[in-house]
Amino acid sequence: MSHLSGRHFLQIPGPTNVPDRVLWAMAQPTIDHRGPEFAKLTHQIMDGLKKILKTSETVVIYPSSGTGAWEAALVNTLSAGDKVLMFETGYFATLWRNMAVKLGLEVDFVPGDWRSGVDPAVVEEKLSEDKKHLIKAVMIGGFLVHGLQPGPMLFMNQPKLMYSIFIAMYLANIFMLFAGLGVAKVFSNFAKVRYSLIGPCIFLFAAIGSFGIRNDLMDLWIMLFFGVIGYFMNKYGYPLAPMIIDLVLGPLTEISLRRGLRMTDFQLAPFFFRPIAGGILIIALISILYGFLRKKPKVMEGEGEYVTD
């Protein structure tokens, strides 16, 4: 019996693959929905939603499938009697039209063949005819605006477009490189500013950024905690770069580890005895041992450079 390594990924428009962190959480035992643990978890979720929605009022959860998102998009942006322009680009577009009609919207539904995107000329014609500006919304996707049907076939049907997108991305990176080199000397002058002036600015922006991401005061305390750790690391000569790299690559490493464990049926042996994985681990161990065995650097008096005995 043949065995396929890895997992099959569904590559069609519509459903998306479940992230590994979600699959890992789903592997845990199911919580009794009648027990106190489930009630505690629900209260925590509701309190967290208040922070996300930036409200102190009661939050009502409305669970649904994708059709619930359709309905939410309609009822939260439009009112009964509003006129909308929709295009027949597939079965789901037709179902969305039916829902809009049931909610009391006046739908101008342009028929299509389900194999091509929306014709921009038709959109322009429809909007030009709307002299009284009765159309409140045009309900189509970004690619469909340009007459393109999203999905895997887009790479085969429109190769020039896709290549032009990737080429534009590469060119943008090249231009950003020259732009960065052009202003690098200007920004390097900030290093000459006295720390007593630039330090408070750094602290202020770090505090605003830490608190503003989730509006959670705990994130601010975490920033202060790691700021104190960084201060003592810098004071006693410990490099900050490895710690920063660990904070950046740590979540990515954890996801890759879980994916690898799932591919090997949760066996650790392949991580040690496969040539590439084993070689990388040996190099990592050597670098760690080298860091412990090397002599501790000292600072020369009157100078700011590190020297070893």
User: In whole angstroms, what is the distance from residue 100 CA to residue 265 CA?
Assistant: 47
Strands 135-139 and 83-87: parallel
Q: Determine the residue type at 110.
A: V
pLDDT score recorded for residue 309: 47
pLDDT score recorded for residue 144: 54
Residue 306 predicted with pLDDT over 50: no
Q: Determine the residue type at 100.
A: A
How large is the average pLDDT for residues 125-145?
A: 73
Q: Name all domains of the chain by residue range, CATH numbers in brackets.
A: 20-53 (no CATH), 66-145 (3.40.50), 268-309 (no CATH)
pLDDT score recorded for residue 57: 85
pLDDT score recorded for residue 308: 47
Residue 300 predicted with pLDDT over 60: no
Instruction: Pick 208 or 264 by higher pLDDT.
Output: 208
Residue 93 predicted with pLDDT over 50: yes
How large is the average pLDDT for residues 158-177?
A: 83
Grade residue 147 by pLDDT with cuts at 50, 70 and 90.
Answer: low
Grade residue 150 by pLDDT with cuts at 50, 70 and 90.
Answer: low
215 CB-near residues (< 8 Å, 6+ apart): 51, 54
pLDDT score recorded for residue 298: 55
Q: For all residues of the chain together, what is the average pLDDT? A: 79
User: In whole angstroms, what is the distance from residue 24 CA to residue 32 CA?
Assistant: 19
∠ CA 177-180-185, nearest 5°, is 140
pLDDT score recorded for residue 149: 58
Instruction: Pick 124 or 154 by higher pLDDT.
Output: 124
Residue 4 predicted with pLDDT over 60: no
User: In whole angstroms, what is the distance from residue 97 CA to residue 149 CA?
Assistant: 18
**Dihedrals φ, ψ of 305, to 5°?**
-105, 150
pLDDT score recorded for residue 11: 59
* Full-model pTM: 0.35
Tokens of 261: 């464990």
pLDDT score recorded for residue 9: 60
Residue 247 predicted with pLDDT over 70: yes
Sign, Cα dihedral of 62, 74, 67, 15? negative
Instruction: Pick 102 or 30 by higher pLDDT.
Output: 102
Grade residue 250 by pLDDT with cuts at 50, 70 and 90.
Answer: confident
How large is the average pLDDT for residues 180-203?
A: 82
